[in-house]
Amino acid sequence: MTIRIGNAPCSWGVEFADDPRNPTWQSVLKDCAAAGYKGIELGPVGFMPEDPAVLADALAENDLELIGGVVFRPYHDPTAWDDVLDATHRTARALKAHGAQHLVLIDSISPRRAPTAGRATEAEQMDKAEWTAYRDRIAESARIGAEEYGLTVGIHAHAAGFMDFEPELERLLNEVDEKILKICFDTGHHSYAGFDPVAFMKRHMDRISYMHFKDIDPAVKAEVIKKRTGFYDACGQGIFCNLGDGDVDFPAVRQVLVDAGFQGWCTVEQDCDPTLDPDPVGDARLNREYLESIGFN
């Protein structure tokens, strides 16, 4: 069994390609390599160069492999479909150019959902017609990635979007053909949503193609749930913590992967708020060292 550990630009606070607070793409590659990683995700399309030759040279210079990329777009918004399609094709082209395998689909944050992140019983639900159109947009992105570009496509549940809570994820999995849509499973977002990541993995390991490793501070989570704090404020309070410091049972996560014979990449995503003066390189190193200490090599 070979499990490889990578990292992603979001660990450096890169969520949107045009955010002026972003570090340079060159420094992210350099920092990722310096922290001991051999693989990295693309980040939001447009952050790293879309000229394959330029990015290939930089990856080689830093001894890094491109793992995958994320389409973080508002699938919940029918008026944004052209933008979603553009991001799907551009991300898929970039991944294929560099031999990366994983295309990850995430419904981005909705103003209708952000206030109730982590509280499934309070969250607004789509009606049947809205859900059907939403599901079909996700399925079309998945079809494009799988059939037109030959990628492995995974749906990724994310706090404050409409693909957040476990019942929504399982409903989607039941309604979209697994030939085109697998799961990119994020341990931290599943915990934030109020569900057990290990239990979900045990039920659905046959469909999990890719992992995002993230942890959740249990004290912050309890406080934000108690006070009914919205997603953005919870991020500002540090709900996403270093691996091993939160409530995700990573030794158990590893055991499920081992028992299933999982092979491939698991990517660290230490989401950070640039306004909190984070230490991305230090955190990346600590996360790698923690994973190695529990048997990920």
Environment class of 263 (CB within 10 Å of its CB; exposed 0-12, middle 13-18, buried 19+)? exposed
Per-residue pLDDT, 277: 79
Tell me the pTM: 0.97
Q: How far apart are CA 197 and CA 166, in angstroms?
A: 10
What are the two backbone dihedrals, phi and then psi, of residue 78, each rounded to the nearest 5 degrees?
A: -65, -25
Note the pLDDT of residue 62.
98
Could you tell me the two tokens for 31? 């920092």
Tokens of 27: 């420094």
Question: What DSSP string runs through 3-16?
Answer: EEEEE-GGGGT--S
127-149 burial, b for 16+ CB within 10 Å, e for fewer? eeeebeebbebbbbbbbbbbeeb
Question: Given this model, what pLDDT does residue 276 score?
Answer: 74
| Residue ranges in the chain modelled with pLDDT below 50 | 1
Token readout for 20 is 């002026």
Give the N- to C-terminal CA distance of the chain in Å, as an integer: 11
Q: What is the pLDDT of residues 217-258, one digit of tens each?
A: 999 999 999 999 999 999 989 999 999 999 999 999 999 999
**Going from the N-terminus, what domains does the chain have, and what CATH number goes with each?**
3-294 (3.20.20.150)
Dihedral sign (CA 93, 95, 96, 97): positive
